[in-house]
Amino acid sequence: MEFMSSLTVSLFRLRVVADTDPGAIARVIERFQNLNVLPRRVIAEFGIDEIIHIQVDVCGLPEEQLKLIAAKISSATSIVSARWQRL
């Protein structure tokens, strides 16, 4: 009987808060497109006080790369904050 080794892949969620700007969602997603990374899930919804909440779930990326992605997104126009959370 053979046992296959289990591959552990970490799942992370990027949480972004942005001003209500039609380009905010595209600016977040383009960072992943530039890296040829397809997110597992993307959710965007309007909150109160004219802000947008964006969540992007990804797996298989090193934590250092995730930090760089968040830093680049944080510096984009209309982005209030961007942070990663391990799921």
Is residue 48 in a domain? yes
Is residue 78 in a domain? yes
Q: How large is the average pLDDT for residues 57-61?
A: 94
Q: What is the pLDDT of residue 48?
A: 86
Is residue 2 in a domain? no
The whole domain housing 35 covers 11-86
pLDDT digits (tens, 9 = 90+) for 10-42: 899 999 999 999 899 999 999 999 999 999 999
Is residue 81 in a domain? yes
Is residue 3 in a domain? no
> What is the C-alpha separation between 5 and 12, in angstroms, rounded?
22
Task: Please say if the pLDDT value at position 7 is more than 80.
Answer: no
- Sheet strands (E) in the chain: 11-19, 41-46, 51-59, 79-86
What CATH number did the domain enclosing 37 receive?
3.30.70.260
Is residue 32 in a domain? yes
Q: Is 77 exposed, middle or buried (0-12, 13-18, 19+ CB in 10 A)?
A: exposed
pTM for the full predicted model: 0.86
Task: Please say if the pLDDT value at position 2 is more than 60.
Answer: no
The total domain count for the chain is 1
